[in-house]
Chain A
């Protein structure tokens, strides 16, 4: 009897404290709905300010620029920064597809169509402008995705002495991550084809060159489609 007295109040206080949620630790909102109750696709139409992204991306480029010695190295750094994003995006985007099409793409064309429509729409709210297969017989495994005005390059003007740099190497890294994650190892690079002259419609036009590894091409041929 005497021992049960001191036992009760601590239990009672603990329960009430958990209900109130004022203990240090996990806190619950008053209506009981946590982040797990929110629908998963809620963030689909939310917008982010383009200025915040532009400043962040500018800092990424300056950060990389301080630590490298050449343009190729800078592009490689941006590529490496985009790669993990691509890996994670692949799972998310496949999950968000309606169940009928929720399958991993098995052929190169399916993968590239997934990239140019679903991925581009998720990143830039518009599909990519063109998808082409390389017509050069020496390099049958090269495909080209072109974008007339990459969003990440909108506020960036590259100085004349660094003419070959294209900061869309970051987006190339994302695409490379998606390809690698889907089982199609590839190397993706960004090339600017807009000359920036007066009167040119798309001075910032960029082409992403997707070059698949030889084993992918072999597998493709084996599966009967090329």
Chain B
């Protein structure tokens, strides 16, 4: 039940935060992470377009419920890890790398988003879409993830 790493990507596809919590993934240079973030951002956009279920019958305009717009990658599975991508309404993507059998990933991602909106968004010294350099965010994140990993 290990959480390996967290990556946050901004609206434009740039890497704004990267942190490892446990061993299990290869360590890459910061350049590699930047390239990875950009690639993933592009792939996410493409997978939205690959949707095989195109709805052509438009619902009548009086209906209250609009069909959901197609979403991009949410989960990526491989043999050694699983990648969960949480895309917020503001275009920020949270990529969480965990073990393939990690339970409750949704709850973890939700909590991380909560910590982000508290300790990064409410910080007057943080500029939007810039790399995240908030000490209290780091501290709270480690405080939250460490007990999860050691359980």
Chain A residues within CB distance 8 Å of chain B: 51, 54-55, 57-59, 61-62, 65, 155-160, 162, 196, 203
Contact B124 A61 (CB under 8 A): yes
Contact B133 A155 (CB under 8 A): no
Name the CB-closest residue of A to B138. Answer: A157
Chain B residues within CB distance 8 Å of chain A: 118-119, 122-125, 133-137, 139
Give Cα A155–Cα B136 distance, bound, in whole angstroms. Answer: 7
Name the CB-closest residue of A to B125. Answer: A159
| Further pairs besides A54-B122, A57-B124, A196-B135: 17, Cβ < 8 Å | A51-B118, A59-B124, A61-B125, A65-B124, A155-B118, A155-B119, A155-B123, A156-B123, A156-B124, A156-B125, A156-B136, A157-B119, A157-B123, A157-B125, A157-B133, A157-B137, A158-B125
Name the CB-closest residue of B to A162. Answer: B125
Name the CB-closest residue of A to B122. Answer: A155
Query: What B residues does A61 contact at CB under 8 A?
Result: 124-125
Query: What B residues does A55 contact at CB under 8 A?
Result: 122
Instruction: Give the dominant DSSP class at A's interface.
Output: helix
Give Cα A65–Cα B125 distance, bound, in whole angstroms. Answer: 9
Query: What A residues does B122 contact at CB under 8 A?
Result: 51, 54-55, 58, 155-156
Give Cα A57–Cα B123 distance, bound, in whole angstroms. Answer: 9
Chain B: minimal CB distance from A44 (Å): 27
- Indicate whether A203 sits within 8 Å of B139 (C-beta atoms), given known contacts A155-B118, A157-B134, A159-B133: yes
Name the CB-closest residue of B to A62. Answer: B124
Query: What A residues does B134 contact at CB under 8 A?
Result: 157
Query: What A residues does B136 contact at CB under 8 A?
Result: 155-157
Query: What B residues does A59 contact at CB under 8 A?
Result: 124
Give Cα A61–Cα B123 distance, bound, in whole angstroms. Answer: 10
Query: What B residues does A57 contact at CB under 8 A?
Result: 124
- Indicate whether A58 sits within 8 Å of B139 (C-beta atoms), given known contacts A155-B119, A157-B119, A157-B134: no
Contact B135 A58 (CB under 8 A): no
16 pairs across A/B with beta carbons < 8 Å?
A51-B118, A58-B124, A62-B124, A155-B118, A155-B122, A156-B122, A156-B123, A156-B124, A156-B136, A157-B119, A157-B135, A159-B125, A159-B133, A160-B133, A196-B135, A203-B139
Chain A: minimal CB distance from B131 (Å): 11
Chain B: minimal CB distance from A196 (Å): 6
